[in-house]
């Protein structure tokens, strides 16, 4: 191996994380409404479009389906993608990069909030993030920004903000989790915060793990073992280990998490864990199984794509996922709309090398 080879590998894995996150997000975006687009209904869509097994972006919707898709679907289905669509799952990765470039790894939770107010439009925030944003404008400080008049404290929002901390701490899951926690407590508590820590650690561990299972095992070391999140992830790992099918594992988990909102961290972490395990380190299989499982499809697809992209590296991601993105990101973060994916990855790699 030449002296430059480790740097090239790091850069390729970080680019893989960015590409995977964006591709997975685009894959899941048209059916992002878990109370309507259930797992059986998504598969019915694919079956009617002759697209099972799913190996590419969602096909054009068959008759009678389009009205129930997200309004952005026309720019997210195969043959119509020309660069990424704007989405909060990508906005927070961009904003996280800007946070680290502006304030460094010693950033404070208050500085996270300041950047939201400066760079992120209020109407492009949702659930817990919108509650925290409102609290910030009313003069509240963390941790009150997360707890005051916020019924979404354990939903998935903090988890989708965690990737940058994994990408910039390759092979260091505890450091990644610590930074993700500092970010997450602006808007979340309990399993909402643990979800961010877990995702950041999982991505960080994926840089050095030989496969997804060791990365998952390592990710669990950063959250309380008695937390519901840890117990749920271990449950999925156990069901997979018995040889149960992907479908039967999801049916079991759906029964055990019944009553939780489709945007809650717990059922989405279960879906994500199942997609990663049954995807078996194959990029396409990982993101398509994750999205087919339903719930918060674009967020889960994005995180699954990030993990799988880091595991495989950008060069190994099939062109059908990368090429339609045209190396371009649409973003609501002020100053970043139209930025190149390769530029975001280059800047992320520079931060990772500075650790």
78-286-32-137 Cα dihedral, nearest 10 degrees: -120
Q: What are phi and psi of 155, to 5 degrees?
A: -85, -175
Residue 190's alpha-carbon distances to 134, 233, 266, 299, in angstroms, are 21, 16, 11, 19
Residues 6+ positions from 299 with CB-CB distance below 8 Å: 25, 28, 32, 89, 156, 159, 160, 268
pLDDT digits (tens, 9 = 90+) for 305-327: 999 999 999 999 999 999 999 99
Mean pLDDT of 4-24: 94
Q: What is the pLDDT of residue 64?
A: 87
Least confident of 3-12, 92-101, 174-183, 303-312: 3-12
Residue 130's alpha-carbon distances to 21, 121, 141, 147, 297, in angstroms, are 22, 10, 15, 12, 20
pTM of structure: 0.97
pLDDT digits (tens, 9 = 90+) for 219-248: 999 999 999 999 999 999 999 999 999 999
Q: Please determine, for residue 130, whether its predicted confidence score (pLDDT) is greater than 80.
A: yes
Residue 85's alpha-carbon distances to 32, 64, 181, in angstroms, are 14, 24, 28
Asked if 79 contacts 56 with a C-beta cutoff of 8 angstroms, the reply is no
**355: pLDDT confidence band, cut at 50, 70 and 90?**
confident
Mean pLDDT of 7-22: 97
Buried b (16+ CB within 10 A) or exposed e, 233-242: bebbbebbee
Residue 169's alpha-carbon distances to 142, 198, 200, 211, 351, in angstroms, are 25, 13, 9, 18, 9
Give the bridge partners for 264, in sequence order: 155
Residue ranges and CATH numbers for the domains of the chain are: 5-353 (1.10.4080.10)
Q: What is the pLDDT of residue 2?
A: 47
Q: What percent of the chain has pLDDT over 70?
A: 99
Q: Please determine, for residue 276, whether its predicted confidence score (pLDDT) is greater than 70.
A: yes
Distance (Å, rounded) from C-alpha 327 to C-alpha 222? 34
Q: What is the pLDDT of residue 4?
A: 65
Asked if 213 contacts 186 with a C-beta cutoff of 8 angstroms, the reply is no
């Amino acid at each position: 191996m030449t002296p430059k080879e480790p740097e090239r590998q790091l850069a390729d894995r970080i680019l893989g994380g960015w590409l995977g996150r964006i591709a997975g997000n685009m894959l899941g975006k048209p059916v992002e409404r878990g109370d309507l687009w259930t797992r059986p209904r998504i598969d019915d869509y694919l079956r009617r479009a002759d697209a099972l097994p799913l190996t590419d972006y969602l096909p054009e919707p068959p008759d009678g389906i389009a009205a129930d898709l997200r309004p952005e679907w026309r720019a997210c289905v195969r043959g119509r993608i020309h660069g990424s669509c704007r989405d909060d799952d990508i906005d927070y990765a961009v904003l996280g990069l800007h946070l680290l470039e502006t304030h460094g790894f010693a950033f404070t939770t208050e500085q996270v909030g300041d950047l939201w107010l400066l760079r992120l439009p209020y109407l492009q925030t949702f659930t817990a993030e919108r509650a925290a944003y409102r609290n910030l404008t009313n003069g509240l400080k963390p941790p009150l920004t997360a707890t005051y008049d916020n019924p979404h404290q354990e939903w998935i929002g903090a988890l989708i903000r965690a990737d940058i901390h994994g990408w910039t701490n390759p092979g260091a899951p505890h450091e990644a989790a610590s930074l993700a926690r500092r970010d997450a407590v602006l808007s979340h508590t309990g399993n909402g915060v643990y979800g961010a820590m877990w995702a950041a650690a999982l991505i960080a561990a994926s840089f050095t793990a030989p496969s997804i299972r060791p990365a998952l095992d390592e990710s669990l070391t950063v959250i309380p073992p008695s937390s519901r999140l840890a117990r749920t992830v271990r449950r999925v790992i156990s069901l997979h280990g018995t040889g149960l099918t992907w479908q039967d594992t999801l049916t079991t988990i759906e029964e055990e998490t019944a009553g939780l909102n489709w945007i809650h961290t717990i059922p989405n972490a279960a879906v994500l864990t199942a997609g990663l395990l049954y995807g078996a380190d194959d990029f396409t299989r990982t993101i398509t199984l994750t999205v087919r499982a339903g719930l918060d499809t674009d967020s889960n697809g994005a995180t699954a794509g990030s993990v799988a992209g880091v595991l495989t590296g950008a060069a190994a991601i099939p062109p059908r996922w990368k090429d339609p993105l045209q190396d371009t990101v649409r973003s609501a973060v002020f100053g970043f709309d139209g930025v190149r994916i390769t530029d975001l990855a280059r800047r992320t790699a520079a931060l990772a090398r500075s650790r």
